[in-house]
């Protein structure tokens, strides 16, 4: 764990179509409002490769009125932090419109900022922590071992996880090349460390560490406006572009 505050990029993923299971909560939102799932990431430069987005099925989320039109979906804890980081009009003040459990969000379709796939589905991930970030994790299975193994698990056991097979159809997309692992760093590390399931916590922590170091220190962008540049150069530039476009904001905790 870092000693100082962790600086995330909070990615705004607008709902394009609520899933059937979210009908109840969708009804509680003001007419004409736009709802965004807010995902905290440390790797904004990978967002071209989003294939899904994860929530914890048992986690309780809130929907928060941010301004006249915009509603953010995240944990209460993250909303409170945001209210003290200048996200709301009045410091420390945030209005909760509704609560919803993660499992009701599965199958909702959202926009993926900068994504090669412009829209992605909400899926369950058992290991999402309610105590970190926003409780919403955007999935980049090419570069995140956690995202990769979880996608493979869901594909193998779609019925068990009560998801539709059409929600897991996007394959990982190569967006960053590393000298050791090529364009699919996460997949290569999952295979190298023989990780079998999302429950292999220790091995996944090791894979995550290696993927991060390899990507950050040796990675080159394969796509996007900074194609050919190193990850170290591109990361702050992609982040700035997202923020300038109103698709992200800084979030720390
Ligand atoms: B990262 P740190 Cl491509 N529960 O974003 C579990 N995981 C969470 C989370 C939560 N509540 N909130 C955020 N995360 C994930 C992209 C990514 C990430 C890639 C590669 C590695 C990676 C796409 N998923 O993280 O504990 C988010 O996934 C590995 C460092 O604060 C976030 O960045 O260090 C990262 O964990 C934050 O982890």
Task: List, for residues 57-92, the tens digit of each pLDDT value.
Answer: 999 999 999 998 999 999 999 999 999 999 988 899
CA 42 / ligand 1 centre spacing (Å): 6
What tokens were used for 220?
Answer: 């080159």
Evaluate: CB of 55 within 6 angstroms of ligand 1.
no
**For 213, left (φ over 0), alpha (ψ -120 to 50), or beta?**
alpha
Distance CA 215, CA 167 (A): 27
CA 219 / ligand 1 centre spacing (Å): 18
Evaluate: CB of 75 within 6 angstroms of ligand 1.
no
Per-residue pLDDT, 6: 92
Ligand 1 atom nearest to CA at 208: 29
CA 32 / ligand 1 centre spacing (Å): 32
Distance CA 150, CA 35 (A): 26
For 25, list phi and psi in degrees, rounded to 5.
-75, -35
Per-residue pLDDT, 47: 98
Evaluate: CB of 107 within 6 angstroms of ligand 1.
no
**For 32, left (φ over 0), alpha (ψ -120 to 50), or beta?**
left
What superfamily would CATH give domain 7-245? Valyl/Leucyl/Isoleucyl-tRNA synthetase, editing domain (3.90.740.10)
Residues in contact with 167: Cβ distance below 8 Å, sequence separation at least 6, in sequence order: 52, 106, 107, 121, 122, 123
C-beta atoms surrounding 155 within 10 Å: 15
Evaluate: CB of 6 within 6 angstroms of ligand 1.
yes
Per-residue pLDDT, 89: 83
Evaluate: CB of 138 within 6 angstroms of ligand 1.
yes
Evaluate: CB of 43 within 6 angstroms of ligand 1.
yes
Which residues of the chain have a pLDDT value below 50?
Answer: none
Evaluate: CB of 80 within 6 angstroms of ligand 1.
no
Ligand 1 atom nearest to CA at 142: 3
Evaluate: CB of 235 within 6 angstroms of ligand 1.
no
What tokens were used for 110?
Answer: 């959202």
Give which of 191, 234, 226 is closest to 210, Cα–Cα: 191
Evaluate: CB of 122 within 6 angstroms of ligand 1.
no
- Give the chain's count of helices (H) and strands (E): 6, 12
- DSSP one-letter code for 193: T
ipTM over 0.90: yes
CA 37 / ligand 1 centre spacing (Å): 15
C-beta atoms surrounding 166 within 10 Å: 9
Per-residue pLDDT, 7: 94
């Amino acid at each position: 764990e870092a000693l100082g505050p962790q600086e995330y990029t909070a990615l705004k993923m607008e709902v394009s179509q609520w899933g059937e299971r979210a009908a109840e909560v969708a009804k509680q939102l003001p007419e004409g409002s736009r709802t965004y799932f807010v995902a905290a990431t440390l790797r904004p430069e990978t967002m071209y490769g989003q294939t899904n987005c994860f929530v914890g099925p048992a986690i309780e989320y809130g929907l928060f009125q941010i301004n006249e039109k915009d509603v953010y979906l995240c944990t209460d804890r993250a909303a409170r932090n945001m209210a003290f980081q200048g996200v709301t009009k009045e410091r420390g003040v945030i209005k909760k419109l509704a609560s919803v459990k993660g499992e009701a969000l599965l199958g909702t379709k959202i926009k993926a900022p900068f994504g090669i796939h412009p829209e992605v589905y909400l899926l369950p991930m058992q290991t999402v922590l309610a105590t970190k970030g926003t409780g919403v994790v955007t999935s980049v299975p090419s570069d995140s071992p956690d995202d990769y193994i979880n996608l493979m698990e869901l594909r193998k056991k779609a019925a068990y996880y009560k998801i539709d097979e059409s929600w897991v159809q996007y394959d990982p997309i190569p967006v960053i090349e590393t000298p050791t692992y090529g364009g699919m760093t996460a997949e290569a590390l999952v295979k190298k460390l023989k990780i079998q399931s999302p429950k292999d916590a220790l091995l996944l922590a090791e894979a995550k560490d290696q993927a991060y170091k390899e990507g950050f220190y040796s990675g080159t962008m394969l796509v996007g406006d900074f194609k050919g540049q190193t990850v170290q150069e591109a990361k702050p530039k992609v982040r700035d572009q997202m923020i300038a476009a109103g698709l992200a904001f800084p979030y720390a905790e």
